[in-house]
Amino acid sequence: MIEVDNLSAERSGQPVLRDVSLSVAPGAVTVLVGPSGGGKSTLLRCLTGLAEFSAGSVLIAGHRLDAGPQPVATLQAVRRDVGMVFQQFNLFPHLTALDNVMLAPRVVLGLLPVAARRRATDLLARVGLEEHAGKHPSQLSGGQQQRVAIARALAMQPKVMLFDEPTSSLDPAMTGEVLAVVAELARSGQTMVIVTHDHGFARRAATEVVQLAAGRVVARGAAGELL
Amino acid sequence: MSAVAWWKMSTGLALAVAACAGGAVAAELDEVRRRGELVWAADQEGGGPHVFPAPDDPRRLNGFEVELAGMIAERLGVKARFQQGAWDRLPLLLGGVADCVINGIESTPVRRRDYGCSRPYFAYALQIVARRDGALVTPEMLVAPGPRGPWQVGVLSASAAETEMRGRDPAAVFVRSFEGTLDSLEQVRGGVLDAAVLDDCIFTFYADRFPELRMVGRPFNGGVYTVLTARDTPALGAAIDEALGTLVADGSLEALYDRWDLGGRQQMLLIRDSADVAPAAVPEFRELLRRVVPTLLQGAAMTILLAVVSFPLAIVVGLVVAICRQYGPRWLDRTLSVYVEILRGTPLMLQLYAIFFLLPRVPLIGVQLPPLVSAVLGLALNYSAYESEIYRAGLKAVPLGQFEAALALGMSRLQALRHVVVPQAARIALPPVTSDFIAMFKDTSVCSVITVMELTKRYNILSLTTGRFFELAAVTAILYLMMSWPLALWVRRLERRLEPPGTGPAG
Ligand SMILES: Nc1ncnc2c1ncn2[C@@H]1O[C@H](COP(=O)(O)OP(=O)(O)OP(=O)(O)O)[C@@H](O)[C@H]1O
Ligand SMILES: [Mg+2]
């Protein structure tokens, strides 16, 4: 599902990723760990075309990304098939939870409002938020917001889901409710790459753990061996 | 930026208030003598042969009235000092800024009622002027519509020509009033107007500058010029009258007019035999309202039309400019920043003037736009610069994460802007944008310089024809408030509705 081949990236002239190679099988869950500044976020951003890289290539969900600027059509095709969940949620504050989830299916996939609404309602139920569909992000707790963000990404029915520290800005109680959703996704066979500092979660959910430090893969293996 | 016309109205109001409160006291004759100076007001923009800057030295004034003022002052045993003012507001300067007005002021019933009017010193008549190759060939043609609908006729704002032309059948004559004497002649030359109507001596003076134009018919509707003084300075008025009498008797006035090629002998006969103008009666307030309110409402409708058509255009153009600058290539940002700075850095009045009067003279691309189109275009472009800056601030205030989250969902840049960034930026921009909308209601008054008859212009005309500056200013101000107040209330409601719940103080 994902093949990263000798990927290198620079930011402001400094190398941030060096010769990173990575392979994720369909249905597998890869957890990225490593010290701050190691390049984990940058790698995820390269996978969904939000960041450019300078060498190597990425095969993801049947699309190919090469070094340098990529055609807009390729980027959009990749992003349609790859969902992303951010540490800061990045929900759209002017829309209700339901509208947050409905928006992309409507404008990107061209779904009719009834179809988009049905899909969004189902997803909100799946993350346990059906009663909060009409609320705005500002009326939801952090954990609820992150679950809406997950539902929003899932609404595009992505082949791959990327999570960048989804629980780092949450307190332990809320962390639990978000991780439960992620674990449920893993069980359902969703291919995922997750950046997290939560080793307990990594041990439970990861098919493979990859450790990044100073832009290089320094270790990889089963969660039990590495952590 | 403040509108000149609006400013005029406010000064009219202020002076009227001051006069009513007895605050300003016009200088009586003894005061003038003690001061050793007679302050006379005129508008050098009005042009020749009355008062105009000398061609070789614009700081010096020329004109037969400059010399006349000097001669009158000399008879009073004092020096003459010139005071500049806008022509249609000159009488308001008598509240204390000037002792008298000497500037082609026609003797009318309203002026006879409201001011001290001297004996006549000059006789004028109205002259129709048209293009040599134009459709208008006889004055009689002005009683019925022309080949392209009503004849388009230009006049000087607040002049006797304006009163005369506005009294005609609107189906036959459409009147456009200008602030400068030469503006209407330029527009006739350019083919925008079918004719201009002005005092005969003015066209005679400038005829060489407009070889394409000719006089249509003979001068008609004659009248006389008078020196205006304030009502409460009768001794000064009498002294000026006496001075004029001696100037006529000893032949110096006749010699003056001969020197200016204004036909001295004939002028002496005309002012000797001119009929007295009877003062107008003071209209009862109810009666005044009945006469002016329909016209003012017409002006208010034009004001609303200008604002509600121009502002949405300004919003759209401003939004496009802001997005291009924020998300477009660098060269586009640079180019558009020049656009914004030019429009913000020059007065709206100048921009309107350029669009209406100067654009037609640009080679190749020059077009003459109708006044209303020019006004809407000018307002929309001017405000688009301000709106674009407001939106840019709004766009900057939306976190980059919002744009990235939208892209990560597969949206194009345009979709991300449209569905995610712009709606949030719009909420941030709403309060300053709406206060700009209210500001535009007032800025529409500048459009009178390009002959659009909006509310302030209607006020100007009505206050001059009725002489009731104060009452009409109050009525006009109320009309402006009636437009902007509900708007302000509606905006406050809209703001409350657009605020996402949970963020407002009410929770
Ligand atoms: N836009 C940028 N400009 C310059 N340097 C950047 C930029 N983005 C990231 N970097 C640098 O790239 C390196 C990797 O950053 P990245 O955010 O990928 O690390 P990370 O592993 O996600 O760290 P963290 O655990 O703190 O999130 C860091 O040294 C960071 O300073
Ligand atoms: Mg990171």
Q: What is the pLDDT of residues B122-152, one digit of tens each?
A: 999 999 999 999 899 999 999 999 888 899 9
Span B174-194, pLDDT tens digits: 999 888 888 899 989 988 899
Q: Do residue A108 and residue B424 have CB atoms under 8 angstroms apart?
A: no
Among B157, B154, B160, B153, which residue's Cα sits nearest to residue B124?
B160
Span B445-495, pLDDT tens digits: 999 888 888 999 889 888 887 888 888 999 999 999 998 888 888 878 877
Chain A residue with Cα closest to B423: A94
How far is the C-alpha of B254 from the C-alpha of B275, rounded, in Å?
20
Q: pLDDT value at position B500?
A: 61
User: Does the beta carbon of A48 lie inside 6 Å of ligand 1?
Assistant: no
Q: Which residue from A90, A107, A138 is facing B405, i.e. has the nearest CB?
A: A90
Distance B324 CA to ligand 2 centre (A): 31
Say yes or no: A48 contacts chain B, CB-CB below 8 A: yes
The Cβ of residue B24 has, within 10 Å, a number of other Cβ atoms equal to 15
Amino acid at B187: Q
Q: What is the 3-state secondary structure (H, E, C) of B160-226?
A: HHHHHHHCCCCCCEEEEEECCHHHHHHHHHCCCCCEEEEEHHHHHHHHHHCCCEEEEEEEEEEEEEC
Sign of CA dihedral A85, A88, A94, A96: positive
Number of domain units in chain A: 1
Which ipTM score applies to this complex? 0.95
Q: pLDDT value at position B25?
A: 53
User: Which helix (H) or strand (E) segment is B71 a member of?
Assistant: helix B64-76
Q: pLDDT value at position B3?
A: 44
Distance A41 CA to ligand 1 centre (A): 7
In order of their start, the domains of chain B are 23-121+226-271 (3.40.190.10), 125-220 (3.40.190.10), 285-498 (1.10.3720.10)
Cβ neighbours of A79 in B, within 8 Å: 407-410
Residue A87 CA: which ligand 1 atom is closest? 27
Atom 22 of ligand 1, nearest CA residue: A41
Q: Which of B403, B409, B417 to mutate: most A Cβ within 10 Å?
A: B409
Q: pLDDT value at position B276?
A: 80
- Distant-in-sequence, close-in-space partners of A184: CB < 8 Å, separation ≥ 6: A126
**Which range is least confidently modeled, B341-350, B409-418, B487-496?**
B487-496
Q: Do residue B502 and residue A136 have CB atoms under 8 angstroms apart?
A: yes
How far is the C-alpha of A133 from the C-alpha of A112, rounded, in Å?
18
Q: How confident is the model at residue B86 (pLDDT cuts 50, 70, 90)?
A: confident
User: Does the beta carbon of A215 lie inside 6 Å of ligand 1?
Assistant: no
How far is the C-alpha of B390 from the C-alpha of B54, rounded, in Å?
46
- Distant-in-sequence, close-in-space partners of A166: CB < 8 Å, separation ≥ 6: A85, A86, A87, A146, A150, A178, A182, A194, A196
Sign of CA dihedral B188, B193, B197, B198: negative
The Cβ of residue A222 has, within 10 Å, a number of other Cβ atoms equal to 12
Atom 31 of ligand 1, nearest CA residue: A37
Chain B residue with Cα closest to A78: B410
Q: Which residue from B404, B411, B427 is facing A50, i.e. has the nearest CB?
A: B404
Q: pLDDT value at position B224?
A: 94
Alpha-carbon distance A133 to nearest alpha carbon in chain B (angstroms) = 14
Q: Which residue from A86, A94, A135 is facing B405, i.e. has the nearest CB?
A: A86
Instruction: Look at the block and give the residue holding tokens 């997803």.
Output: A123
Average pLDDT over residues B415-429: 92
SS3 B83: strand
The per-residue DSSP string of A68-125 comes to S---HHHHHHHHHHEEEE-TT----TTS-HHHHHHHHHHHTT---HHHHHHHHHHHHH
Pairing of strands A55-60, A63-66: antiparallel
Interface residues of chain B, partner chain A, Cβ below 8 Å: 399, 401-402, 404-413, 415, 419-420, 423-424, 427, 500-503
Span B261-287, pLDDT tens digits: 999 899 999 888 888 888 888 888 888
**Could you tell me the residue range of the domain that residue A189 belongs to?**
2-226
Q: pLDDT value at position B18?
A: 45
Q: Do residue B407 and residue A86 have CB atoms under 8 angstroms apart?
A: no
Residue A212 CA: which ligand 1 atom is closest? 21
Q: pLDDT value at position B287?
A: 87
Chain B residue with Cα closest to A149: B405
Position B419 pLDDT exceeds 60? yes
If you count them, how many residues does chain B have? 507
Cβ neighbours of A91 in B, within 8 Å: 405
CATH, residue A59? 3.40.50.300
User: Does the beta carbon of A11 lie inside 6 Å of ligand 1?
Assistant: yes
Q: pLDDT value at position B501?
A: 58
Collect the ranges in chain A with pLDDT lower than 50. Answer: none
Cβ neighbours of A163 in B, within 8 Å: none
Residues in a beta bridge with B196: B129, B154
Say yes or no: A88 contacts chain B, CB-CB below 8 A: yes
Chain A residue with Cα closest to B500: A94
Distance A163 CA to ligand 2 centre (A): 10
Amino acid at B344: R
Average pLDDT over residues B74-92: 91
Q: Are A182 and A194 in contact (CB under 8 A)?
A: yes
Span B189-210, pLDDT tens digits: 988 899 999 999 999 999 999 9
User: Does the beta carbon of A39 lie inside 6 Å of ligand 1?
Assistant: yes
Alpha-carbon distance A5 to nearest alpha carbon in chain B (angstroms) = 22
The Cβ of residue A55 has, within 10 Å, a number of other Cβ atoms equal to 16
What tokens appear for A176 in the block?
């639990």
With a CB-CB cutoff of 8 Å, which residues 165-204 of chain A face chain B? Answer: none
Alpha-carbon distance A200 to nearest alpha carbon in chain B (angstroms) = 28
If you count them, how many residues does chain A have? 227
- Cβ-count burial of B405 within 10 angstroms (0-12 exposed, 13-18 middle, 19+ buried)? buried
Say yes or no: A219 contacts chain B, CB-CB below 8 A: no
How far is the C-alpha of B64 from the C-alpha of B247, rounded, in Å?
14
